[in-house]
Amino acid sequence: MTRVVPEFPARLRSMQGEEMLQAEEVAAMLRLHELGWGAKRLSKEFGCARNTVRRYLRAGGAAPFNKPTRKTAFDGLDDWLRERFFRHGGNADVVRQELASEHGIVIGLRSVELRVQRWRRELKARKRATVRFETPPGHQLQIDFGEARVWIGDERVRVHMFVATLGYSRRMHIRPSLRERQIDWFEGMEGTFLRFGGVPTEVLFDNARALVEHHDAATREVRFNARLHAFARYWGFKPRACAPYRARTKGKDERGVGYVKHNAIAGRRFPSWGAFVAHLDQWNREIADQRMHGTTGELPIVRFADEAAALRPLGGRAPFGQLRDLIRKVRPDCAIDLDTNSYSVPWRLVGETVQVVVLAGRVIVRHAGEVVADHPVCEGRRQQVTDKAHLAGLIGTHLVREAMAPAVQAPALLRPLAEYEAVVGGGW
């Protein structure tokens, strides 16, 4: 009786080791060996090394291949790598830099990318995942800044958009500015309280450096800026910072920022900064407040009727009064620079060093302990604010006085400091 042995076209396959051999192939190898096939012939037939054939024959069947355990530079650092990977939003190069600075491990970027690859799907899912939650009337206000390029006149200006959204009614407040400093956060919140006629129980925001000094991703320990604590106590709300690297937990306002950028601003040009601000106010009243909200199914202005009574009354409070105290040198054109704008001062102070105080919407310039100029804060960019009285007596102007008599300072410029203190309450 003749036994039929199946053919194994091993030479037509790319065999990279015994891991490619299936259990039935190993069984066929054993049967062929019983028929007298030697290790050399079997190795050619199955496309593997002779030592591999001998190992299968000694084991009497398929034997798992024991890969040697190799030590790597990442051994014992998996928890650290995972925490840093999520902290930096999946940026493997930053992880590589911190490996070198904190652990003294200098390694290639590709090696780090391969090591953290297993967590990328989780990171992507975490970024997309959002837990929707609703808050009762008057409980929460979400605030954020967004950035957009806007045509103001003939210049394309980078504008920072403060957007605040009430959690229950979804009513919005928008305040554009040229910067994103702490004062802009505070003025944005105060404008929101004034627009809605009250203060919510808590204000939720991202981990902005102007407001949050430290927020531990693991323990959720938050350390707010001392000035923010004072501001919150003054207005009577509780500050809350969303989880680090989880800005989507502030989803209502995240969507609000996108709505403003793509609906109120996109494709539009404005002749001046004032026209831009006026457009946003009109758009907020006529479009944003009157739209049918996709989640609540109601108009924000209608839903706000239930929320207005739940807000804490303002109580006639004056603005918190963020103070900026600066030093400037008077330029030859009789002005000082402040936030790209220029403000005039008396011409006799050219070359002198003066103190500039920004307070309650005013730019106050002091020299030798006395107020020498007082201007309203200019919200535009690269503007000149000039008081003609500051140029009186200057040669080359139409305000030259007879016999070049010394200019008498107007009483309005010599107001005592107590008047400015009264505006915001308390002393400097």
DSSP 366-380: EETTEEEEEEEPP-S
Domain covering 10-59: architecture: Orthogonal Bundle (1.10)
Q: Are 4 and 35 in contact (CB under 8 A)?
A: no
Residue 249 has, within 13 A of its CA and on its CB side, a CA count of: 13
In 3-state terms the chain splits into helix, strand, coil percentages (rounded to 5) of 40, 20, 40
Start-end of H helices in 200-354:
226-235, 251-259, 273-283, 300-308
Question: Does residue 414 surpass a pLDDT of 90?
Answer: no
> Which residue reads 């305000």 in tokens?
399
Q: Domain 140-308 maps to which CATH number in 1.10.357.10, 3.30.565.10, 3.90.930.12, 3.30.420.10?
A: 3.30.420.10
Confidence of residue 122 (pLDDT cuts 50, 70, 90): confident
Question: Does residue 177 surpass a pLDDT of 50?
Answer: yes
Strand order of the β-sheet with 384-385 is 335-338, 341-344, 384-385
pLDDT in tens, 251-284: 555 678 888 988 999 889 999 999 999 999 999 9
DSSP state letter for 284? I
Q: If we measure between CA atoms, which residue out of 313, 309, 315, 314 comes closest to residue 136?
A: 309
Residues 6+ apart with CB under 8 A from 69: none
**More confident call, 275 vs 3:** 275
Confidence of residue 14 (pLDDT cuts 50, 70, 90): very low
User: How do the domains of the chain map onto residue ranges?
Assistant: 10-59, 78-128, 140-308, 324-424
Confidence of residue 133 (pLDDT cuts 50, 70, 90): low
Angle, CA of 281, 425 and 316, to the nearest 5°: 50
Residues 304, 310: Cα–Cα separation, whole Å: 10
Residues 233, 236: Cα–Cα separation, whole Å: 5
Q: Are 192 and 140 in contact (CB under 8 A)?
A: no
